[in-house]
Amino acid sequence: MSLTTEDRPATSNGAQIFSYFGTLTLLVYLVMPHGYLLDIATSYMLKNQLHASATQVSTFRLLTAIPVYASILFGLARDQWNPFGMKDRGFLLLFAPLSTVVYLWMAYAPLSYVNLFTGMFLVMFAFRFVTAAYWGLLALVGQEKLMSGRLSALWNIVSSLPYIAGAVLSGYLTEHLSPTEILLLMAVFALLIVLPVLWKPRAVFGHLYERPQARGAGLLADIKRLLKHRAIYPAVLIMFLFCFSPGSSTPLQFYLTNVLHASDAVYGYYDAIYLASFIPVFFLYGYLCKKVSLKKLLWWGTVITVPQMIPLVLVNSANLALLMAVPIGLMGGVASAAYYDLAMRSCPPGLQGTLMMMVDAVFQLAYRGGDLLGSWIYGSSPANGFLYCVLVTAAVYTLILPLILLVPKELIATADGEPNPQVETEILAEIGDEART
């Protein structure tokens, strides 16, 4: 018997699933405390209102993100806890309003480094539960409905929009809105996350937690299953290498402004164009993933991505750099969607929140670590620092290729929506083994 006999998404069901997750993704990423919108806004509050130094701003970002680095704990909480008997909807119902309360406190508390730090840390903590519920629900539906590829494409498309808006609008908002008004806006966005709790589409939640993919075995047994689940290791390592890009953040910012003599605004424009250029490829991935096995998409995406940043070392003006942001973004789209597709497929039964939050933490750690290394490489050679950063980035991406060989072949042998009896048998066997234990 198939694990998903009732779950093959008809067109109407698929539209309902995409509508639900499209709405939820947009709200979650608008409110995300470490997203572009609030992250850049708080950096301006620190710089302009509180006269913080660059070191103090960096330290603020590093320390307030501690809950993000510990995301696996929030994922485990999602997989073990069932607030109000509503599972993921219960997390949203509890922690989205709690995030609103924290934002309101931040808005009306006197603006100081201590108050801003305390508020950001608390909202980071509370919102990790929202994120865990979101990712766990997305991955579980992706597994049960055999649509991890299409949901990966949807997530990539919709989550890009707040980042693009943040890159373009954050400076404008800080110039035209007070810190209190910005934080009140975030409070409203956080409260709106409650709306999907009231909307419970059958296409998403019908028998969702009754399937074998949703079954856990208790905390200690689940941790043992997680460690024994060989699919998680290449998925996490691939994501780490993909996000460990030494040339894409601070070195690029300094290269544009110091070497190409661009204005500070150009870096924001570059980011916006770069992120927007991914979107057409994500739409393409949503089509291709139904026609082509994930194995092929992983290989194609990685090979295309390896030289992604090399065009930047060939430019000699800021305008040309902005133009190059388009092909650079296009080159990364297939890989980004394929790696999240792989992560969703790699989740052990009942541990979707744990693995996806592990991936989320790895994303942040790799991004920050890669930026730190890139800054050191850039500073080591005034003449060729950025070139070295780009070459290291290409070398890191190349290391992804052998990791694809470590992914269980049966996991990536099928296209999106195509039944995979071997994987279904393994899930039933894993759950059966734990039940017997």
- Does residue 272 sit in the same domain as residue 373? yes
pLDDT at 405 over 80: yes
Residues 273 and 377 in one domain: yes
- 209 and 262 both lie in a single domain: no
Same domain, 326 and 386: yes
Question: What are the tokens at 246?
Answer: 């030494």
Task: Give the domain extent around 53.
Answer: 9-214
**What's the distance, CA 136 to chain centroid?**
13
Main-chain phi, psi angles of 350, to 5 degrees: 75, 5
- DSSP-H helix ranges across 177-261: 179-192, 195-198, 202-205, 219-228, 232-243, 250-254
Other beta carbons within 10 angstroms of residue 136's beta carbon come to: 27
Phi, psi at residue 245, to the nearest 5°? -120, 90
**Distance of alpha carbon 293 from alpha carbon 297, whole angstroms:** 7
Average pLDDT over residues 91-100: 96
Where do we find the tokens 């950096």?
Answer: 43
CATH number for 410: 1.20.1250.20
> Are 193 and 161 in a shared domain?
yes
**DSSP calls for 30-44:** HH-TTSHHHHHHHHH
Per-residue confidence (pLDDT) for residue 46, from 0 to 100: 86
Which pLDDT value is given to residue 11?
A: 54
Distance CA 21, CA 16 (A): 9
What share of the chain in percent tops pLDDT 90? 56
In a domain, 226, yes or no: no
Dihedral in degrees, nearest 10, Cα atoms 131, 133, 134, 137: 150
In percent, the amount of the chain with pLDDT more than 70 equals 94
In a domain, 225, yes or no: no
Residue 3: inside a domain: no
- Residue 150 CA to residue 287 CA, distance in Å, equals 8
Residue tagged 């990536």 (tokens): 412
Average pLDDT, the chain: 88
Q: How sure is the predictor about 5, in pLDDT bands with cuts at 50, 70 and 90? A: very low
Let me know whether 418 and 293 are in one domain: yes
* DSSP string computed for 181-195: HHHHHHHHHHHHTTH
Tell me: do 149 and 244 sit in the same domain: no
Please check whether residue 128 lies inside any domain of the structure.
Answer: yes
87: DSSP letter: T
Nearest alpha carbon to residue 44 among 144, 177, 220, 239 = 177
Please tell me whether residues 235 and 157 are part of one structural domain.
no
- Tell me the pLDDT tens digit for each residue of 206-232: 889 988 888 887 888 889 999 999 999
117 in the same domain as 152: yes
Q: Which residue has the higher pLDDT, 112 or 369?
A: 112
3-state secondary structure of 279: helix
Cβ contacts of 277 within 8 Å, gap of 6 or more? 325, 326, 327, 328, 329, 330, 333
Q: Place 9 in a pLDDT band, splitting at 50, 70 and 90.
A: low
User: Do residues 187 and 259 both lie within one domain?
Assistant: no
Q: Residues 25, 282: contact at Cβ < 8 Å? A: no
Per the structure block, which two tokens stand in for 302? Answer: 């990685």
Picking from 13, 17, 6, 71, the residue whose alpha carbon sits closest to that of residue 196 is 17
pLDDT at 423 over 90: no
Question: Read out DSSP for 384-413?
Answer: THHHHHHHHHHHHHHTHHHHHTTS-GGGGS
Give the residue from 163, 182, 214 where a domain finishes.
Answer: 214
> Is the predicted pLDDT of residue 381 greater than 90, yes or no?
no
334, 301 contact by CB (below 8 A): yes
Q: What is the pLDDT of residues 244-269, one digit of tens each?
A: 888 777 788 788 878 888 776 787 78
Q: Are residues 208 and 319 in the same domain?
A: no
Lowest-confidence segment of 11-15, 173-177, 208-212, 268-272 by average pLDDT: 11-15
Domain check: are 128 and 162 in the same one? yes
Last residue of a domain, which of 183, 214, 245? 214
- On the question of pLDDT at 30 being above 70, the answer is yes
The amino acid that residue 275 corresponds to is: L
Decide if 223 is inside a domain.
no
The residue that leads in pLDDT, 391 or 374, is: 391
Q: How many residues does the chain have?
A: 437
Q: How confident is the model at residue 436 (pLDDT cuts 50, 70, 90)?
A: very low
The whole-angstrom separation of Cα 169 and Cα 54 is 21
- Would 267 be classed as within a structural domain? yes
User: Which pLDDT value is given to residue 54?
Assistant: 61
What pLDDT score was predicted for residue 362?
92
Q: Total structural domains in the chain?
A: 2
Give the chain's largest Cα–Cα span: 66
291 Cβ contact list (under 8 Å, min separation 6)? 415
Q: Is 1 domain-assigned?
A: no
pLDDT at 435 over 50: no
- Sorted by sequence, the CB contacts under 8 Å of residue 394 that are 6+ apart come out as 306, 307, 308, 309, 310
Question: What pLDDT, in 10s, does the model give residues 273-331?
Answer: 998 999 999 999 999 999 999 999 999 999 999 999 998 888 888 889 899 999 999 99
Spatial CA neighbour of 363 closest among 53, 131, 181 = 131
Q: Which residue, chain included where needed, has tokens 């993909």?
A: 242
In terms of Cα–Cα distance, which of 131, 98, 174, 149 is closest to 343? 149
pLDDT at residue 424 in the model: 85
Q: Is residue 146 part of a domain?
A: yes
Select from 154, 182, 214 the last residue of a domain. Answer: 214
Classify 215 as helix, strand or coil: coil
- The mean pLDDT of 158-171, rounded to a whole number, is 80
Quick count: other Cβ atoms within 10 Å of Cβ 198? 8
The SS3 assignment for 50 reads: coil
Closest among 318, 306, 320, 323 to 404, alpha carbons compared: 306
Q: Report the distance separating Cα 126 and Cα 434, nearest Å.
A: 32
